[in-house]
A and B are shown apart, each in its own frame.
Chain A
Amino acid sequence: EDKVVQSPLSLVVHEGDTVTLNCSYEVTNFRSLLWYKQEKKAPTFLFMLTSSGIEKKSGRLSSILDKKELFSILNITATQTGDSAVYLCAVEKGNYQLIWGAGTKLIIKP
């Protein structure tokens, strides 16, 4: 059975800290892995990763994929209160269908 597992389920840090969120997967016909951010509304797209070892970066956020060990990490440096959200990981399994993890709830304290 295809599955995507995120860890930790929740995380509380102080502003300025660096955090690492994990996503592991077991999906047949892997095509790509995507990261989304969800505040109190709909998820918004962050990154799509298809190749191992190539870091995607956007400001203070970065992500990398390891297709051999079947995981990805999302790093956020110098965290701000606006980074508080649920971070979702999803894997494309073919036919443009995504399998989603349950998410990591990140809380940034001022």
Chain B
Amino acid sequence: DAGITQSPRHKVTETGTPVTLRCHQTENHRYMYWYRQDPGHGLRLIHYSYGVKDTDKGEVSDGYSVSRSKTEDFLLTLESATSSQTSVYFCAIGPAGTYEQYFGPGTRLTVT
């Protein structure tokens, strides 16, 4: 597996609380992505980064923000968690010059 870790791996939180998920890579890849995966929807891109401090929105970015202050870390923040954000969140990384993406183990988030 590519050197990608996600933390926490599981989290239960209450509606209205902020939540931060962390993705850490040891591959020095330029691109990092946050996806959510829900039954019937496949993987949907939330935000992605193409370099330190360079980020852009994906197709389902509302209610989420990201930050990348170092090459190896990409943080996803749910500003005020809602039940609709209950999902499995995957981080992925990809080197420049190729479209392949390599996925982290995922974080299962439950918002009650």
Of the listed residues A88, A96, A101, A103, the one surrounded by the most CB atoms of chain B closer than 10 A to its CB is: A96
Which residues of chain B from 34 to 86 have any CB-CB distance to chain A below 8 Å in the complex? 40-45, 48, 50, 56, 58
A44 / chain B contacts, CB cutoff of 8 Å: 103
Q: CB < 8 Å: which of B41, B56, B103, B106 contacts A102? A: B41
CB atoms of B45 and A98 under 8 A apart: yes
Interface of chain A residues 76 through 110 with chain B (CB within 8 A):
88, 90, 92, 95-98, 100-103
A31 in the interface (beta carbon within 8 A): yes
CA distance A5 to B103 in the complex (A): 22
The size of the chain A interface, using a CB distance under 8 A, is 20
Instruction: Bin the interface of chain B by size.
Output: 20 to 34
**Interface set of A (CB-CB < 8 Å, partner B):** 31-32, 34, 41-45, 48, 88, 90, 92, 95-98, 100-103
A-B contact pairs, 15 of them (CB 8 A): A32-B99, A41-B106, A42-B104, A48-B99, A92-B99, A96-B48, A96-B50, A96-B94, A97-B45, A97-B48, A97-B58, A102-B40, A102-B41, A102-B42, A103-B42
Q: Which residue of B lies closest to A44 (CB)?
A: B103
Q: How far is the CA of A96 from the CA of B103 in the complex (A)?
A: 15
| B42 and A98 contacting across the interface, CB-CB below 8 Å | no
B99 touches A100 (CB 8 A): no
Residue in A closest to B102 when the chains form the complex, CB atoms: A45
CB distance from B27 to the nearest CB of A (A): 14
Take A34-B100, A48-B99 as given contacts and tell me if A100 and B43 are in contact as well, using a CB distance cutoff of 8 Å. yes
User: Could you say which of B44, B56, B106 contacts A100, with CB atoms under 8 Å apart?
Assistant: B44
Q: How far is the CB of A50 from chain B (nearest CB, A)?
A: 9
